[in-house]
Structure 1
Amino acid sequence: MTRYLSIEDDDDSVPDTDERDVTTLIPAAVDEVLAMAETWLAFAGNPVVREGNAWTPHKALRRVTDHLIDHLAEIECRLAGVPTEPDRWHGRRLTLDADFARFTEADLDEATSRLRRLALCYRGRLAGLSADELDAPCASDPGAWTIRQIVHHVAGITAYAELLGPLA
Structure 2
Amino acid sequence: MEDHFVSDDIITNKIYLIRGQKVMLDSDLANLYQVETKYLKRQVRRNLERFPDDFMFELTPEEISRSQFGTLKQGGNIKYAPMVFSEQGVAMLSSVISSAPAIAVNIQIMRVFTKVRQMLTDNTELRLEIEKIKSKLDNQDKNMEIVFRYLDELLEAKYHPQPREPIGFRLKG
Q: TM-score range by the shorter chain?
A: under 0.3
State TM-score, norm by structure 1: 0.22
TM-score, structure 2 normalization? 0.22
Larger radius of gyration: 2
